[in-house]
Each structure stands twice: as structure tokens, then as C-alpha cells.
Amino acid sequence: MKQVAPGVHQLTIQRFVNLYFVETGRSGEWVLVDTGLPGAAKDIIAAANKLFYPGTHPEAIILTHGHMDHAGNARELAEHWKVPVLAHPLELPFLTGKAVYPPADPTVEKGGTLAFVSRFFPPQSFQLSDLVQALPTADTDPPFLPDWQLLHVPGHAPGQIALFREKDRTLLGADAFATANHESVPALLLQVPCISVAGAPFNYNWQQVRESVEKLAALRPEAIGCGHGPVIQGAEAAEGLSALARNFPMPTRGRYVLEPARIDETGVQFVPPAAVDTLPTKLAVIGAGVGLTITAAALFAAKKKNNRKAGRKKQAGTYTYESGFESNYDDYQTGYGVQEDGRVVGPGPSRPEWRKGGVGD
């Protein structure tokens, strides 16, 4: 566990997903921000008990948005602690089973390894109707956190929020950006510090992504914690985020680059046509090439083996006694004779008997 700032602790679970324990300012009270991928509820509860006291519970769970890696344990934790789940109104359709997020874009330029694996991500939606409540829509103080400001930062998710505490310039940036290179899964898993665009294949509105980065960069944060990547503190925080805003790497190719998906409080209203995904064709060509190479190698090996066998047979035919005997034994004066029943009888006291084609008993 890493301290982002006084009263703010980052817990990294499942190697690359972050969530935050944020103290309210009142003794023993805190809020959980995000919940990680499914399957980590017990680890989160254990971490909370260790950080605060055994049997502790938050005042609420605040979700920065409803993607699986942020809302995955929300139900299990909320039911265990008996607390509400809070999210922006534009996230509610996806947290109440009424809608699914726009499909990921594996064709986006500079999507890196994440773009490749996004092809296998299922549509995302949760059913938290009995638990989730709406946060305020305006940039204002969130419930239970009077020193913090709630900021709407869409583009990655329609109701994505960031949290900013002005008194010490602490920023929880969600997936508005990342503090590790999202184009590289190894860099993400190793938590190499790098302020970069977050979740490119899942960004449905690139203009909003850029505006959200610019909005947060203007805050000049001195301590940053995001959904993915390590804590970044000091001058590097503000300078790195400002550099990303100034030199924002707007992609030139991808499904949502020229035309974004349109989403309102009821869910997704429009999704542009998918861009041509050339990877399956390329993989098919590569697979066919590999298959042909393996087949050709197998045929060549079989032919070579047959040639070796033919050579051995030819050599054996030259020296085999039986074949010479069968065809020429009458020409030799060896003392052997042929009886009426066809047996060849040899000389000597033991008189061994030989049958044409085999040994007799």
C-alpha cells in the first residue's frame, strides 16, 4: 500500500489496478474509491482492516466509472459493509443492467498490447440497482468528502469523475489519464512511472478525452493517483500532466477518432461503424504460411525416409542368400537333392531337411 498524500492511500490489486482509501477528516471515517476487478473483495477488506482497525467499514463506495476494473467488487463489498455505491448519473445505465458500454476499438492507433487484448473483452455492465445512488452532476463537493472537489471528466466513460483536494493539490485521476504507459502491458504490470493516455481502446470520444486531460492539467497537481500506474508526486506530477495536455497524442486512425459514440442518461444512442480490423486477416495469412511450411517439411522428411528405405532394400537384394538359392540351387553341385514331395534334402548324417521358402522341422 502506498500513501498518495495525508489521509489518502493507494492499494494496487491484481498487479495493475488501483483503488483508494480516502479519509473524510473525521476520526475513523473513510470512503473507498473504486473496487478493482472481480475476485479481490477479501483482499480489499483485509487491507482496510489493517490500515484502520478490524471490522472497519467505509461511509460509502465511490466509483469513478463503471468499467469492470473499477466496479468489479462493488456489490460484494457494499453488501459486506452495508454501505451505498455512488456514481455519476451518466454511469447509472451501465451499473443497473440497462445498457452496455460502446464496444472496444482494437483498431485505434497506438493502442499497443491493450488494443490487441481488447478484442477478447466481453460487453460490460453491472446490476447494482438496489445499491447504487447518483452523485451530483456539477463540479462540486462529493458526499462524505468536504475537502474534495468532484470533477466530471468524460471521454473514457460518459460519467467518469476525478477527485481533487485543493489544499495539498492531490488528484485522483481515474482513467482520464494513466501514470504508466498503457500502450505496454509489461510497463503497466511493472508500474513504470509515465503519465500517458489511459485505456485507448475504450475511449469512445477522443475530443472529450483531450479536454479532460487539459482540465486536470490546469489544476497543477502535486500528488497524483490514477486507476492504473504508480503514485507520482512533486514537480513531476504537474509537469508530466501538463506535457501530456500540450502534446496530446490524438490518434489519426480508429473507430471513434472521427466520430464519437453518443451517450446520454439512458445509455448508448449511437456507435459509429467499426473500422476495418486487418489483424484477423494477417493472422490467417501467417497461420496459413506456417501450416504450409510445416506440411512441406513433413513431406520432405517422409520422402527422405522413403529414399533411405529403398536404398537399404536394394543393398539387401544384392547379397541375400535366399533369393540366390531359390533361383539357382539346381545349378550347384553341392550334394543336395530334390525329393518327389518337393523337399530339398542335404547330405550328412543329420540330413537336415529344407523346404522351398522355409526351414522344415
Grid coordinates given for 178: 494513466
Task: Write out the DSSP string of 8-36.
Answer: EEEEEETTTEEEEEEE-SSTT-EEEE---
Residue 283 pLDDT greater than 50, yes or no:
no
The pLDDT value recorded for residue 275 is 84
Which amino acid is it at 269? Q
Per DSSP, the three-state class of 221 is: coil
- Biggest distance spanned by C-alpha atoms of the chain: 122
Topology, domain 2-274: Metallo-beta-lactamase; Chain A (3.60.15)
Residue 182 pLDDT greater than 90, yes or no:
no
Per DSSP, the three-state class of 231 is: coil
Contact 115, 201 (CB under 8 A): yes
- What tens digit of pLDDT does each residue of 207-219 get? 999 999 999 999 9
In 3D space, the residue among 219, 226, 240 whose CA is nearest the CA of residue 166 turns out to be 219
Grid coordinates given for 294: 510445416
Query: How far is Cα 337 from Cα 343, in angstroms, rounded to an integer?
Result: 8
The pLDDT value recorded for residue 215 is 99
The pLDDT value recorded for residue 149 is 97
The pLDDT value recorded for residue 345 is 52
43 compared with 322, residue with greater pLDDT: 43
Q: What is the mean pLDDT of residues 47-66?
A: 98
316 — pLDDT class (breaks 50, 70, 90): low
pLDDT above 70: percentage of residues in the chain? 77
At how many degrees (to 10) do helices 74-81 and 41-51 cross? 50
Distance of CA 360 to the CA centre of its chain: 74
Residue 42 pLDDT greater than 90, yes or no:
yes
290 compared with 194, residue with greater pLDDT: 194
Residue 361 pLDDT greater than 70, yes or no:
no
Q: What is the mean pLDDT of residues 10-26?
A: 96
Backbone dihedral region of 110: left (phi > 0), alpha (psi from -120 to 50 degrees) or beta? left
Burial 68-102 (b: 16+ CB within 10 A, else e): bbbbbbbbbbbeebebbbbbbebbbbbbbeebebb
Distance of CA 223 to the CA centre of its chain: 28
The mean of the pLDDT values for the chain is 85
Block residue for cell numbers 452523485: 135
pTM value is 0.77
Residue 259 pLDDT greater than 50, yes or no:
yes
pLDDT above 90: percentage of residues in the chain? 66
The pLDDT value recorded for residue 305 is 66
The pLDDT value recorded for residue 313 is 59
The pLDDT value recorded for residue 353 is 45
- The domain segmentation of the chain, as residue ranges, is 2-274, 281-341
- What tens digit of pLDDT does each residue of 217-247 get? 999 999 999 999 999 999 999 999 999 999 9
User: Which parts of 25-73 fold into alpha helices (H)?
Assistant: 41-51, 68-71
- What tens digit of pLDDT does each residue of 138-181 get? 788 899 999 999 999 999 999 999 999 999 999 999 999 999 99
Give the gyration radius of the chain's Cα atoms.
Answer: 37
Block residue for cell numbers 452496455: 100
Residue 289 pLDDT greater than 60, yes or no:
no
Query: How far is Cα 184 from Cα 161, in angstroms, rounded to an integer?
Result: 25
Residues 6+ apart with CB under 8 A from 248: 197, 210, 213, 214
Would you give the DSSP letter of residue 298? Answer: H
Residue 100 pLDDT greater than 70, yes or no:
yes
Would you give the DSSP letter of residue 127? Answer: B
- What tens digit of pLDDT does each residue of 343-352 get? 555 554 444 4
Query: How far is Cα 249 from Cα 251, in angstroms, rounded to an integer?
Result: 6
Q: How many CA atoms lie within 13 A of 150 on its CB side?
A: 24
Residue 45 pLDDT greater than 80, yes or no:
yes
The pLDDT value recorded for residue 279 is 54
